[in-house]
Amino acid sequence: MSTSVLKAKLRASVVGAALVSLVPLSVPLSASADQVDDIVKSGISRAKSAAASQKRIDKISEDTEKVISKYHQQRKSVEVLKKFNDRLRRTLQAQEVAMTSLERSIEDASLIERQIVPLMLRMISGLDQFIAADIPFKLEERKARVDRIKGYLTNANIAAAERFRQVLDAYSIESNYGKTIDVYSEELDLGGKKRTVNVLQVGRAGLYYQTIDGAESGYWDKGDKQWKQLDSSHNEGITKAIKISQGKASKDLMTLPIIAPEKI
């Protein structure tokens, strides 16, 4: 039963009681005036008592309505908290799954790191051997790069990913050397005498030198692993190739002596 219905019934009952109290059921005809006054006073007293009871009922009704209103508010708050807790529970479950996956990834990363360090050591050792067996262009620069990376591989403060990147970069640089033409100055031991020359590197197909005055030219003999002097008839072609590589002459065909590859 709702509060409003209950309140209406209570009021009706009190009003009815008051009316009954005000109207005596029977007053004897022989009753004296004093008796009538007593009856009337008694009815008025009962009416006042009923009015006071009605006020108490109204107060109880108002308090009940407040309690019910507060109850509904609390119920709404509980529903909101239930939804929030449910969402929080799902979030925690997702985080637990993510943590488990992360822990597994960390374990896998540790395993990969233990396996990749020996691989990097083999790779950089192989690159070092390759440079030693390759034609000797930019040797100091290339060997310094390998030595620097060897230092990285033994440095625990550098992440494994960064060390591996350095190894791959070194391989990439060495690979690109085979597709480039470059000119640089270097001091070579020619016939037991140190001389500053221009070195022309044509990929890995040929390596040439020419003195600063352009009077003498030579090439690197892969078979004998030494510098050999060329006939002076090649001076002009090598000079032209050097100027083209330096951007001092327009691009054109380069006429260079190429040693035929040896049969295996």
Look at residue 1 and tell me whether its pLDDT is greater than 70: no
Per-residue pLDDT band at 14 (split at 50, 70, 90): very low
**Does 71 score more than 90 pLDDT?**
no
Residues 104-156 have pLDDT tens digits of 776 666 667 777 888 899 999 999 999 999 999 999 999 999 999 999 988 88
Is the pLDDT assigned to residue 235 strictly greater than 50? yes
Band the pLDDT of 262: cuts 50, 70, 90: low
Phi-psi region of 197 (alpha: psi -120 to 50; beta: other; left: phi over 0): beta
Longest dimension (CA), the chain: 168
Do residues 164 and 152 touch, judged by C-beta distance below 8 A?
Answer: no
Q: Which amino acid makes up residue 238?
A: I
Check residue 81 and give its pLDDT. Answer: 86
With 0-12 / 13-18 / 19 or more C-beta atoms within 10 angstroms meaning exposed / middle / buried, residue 7 is: middle
pTM over 0.95: no
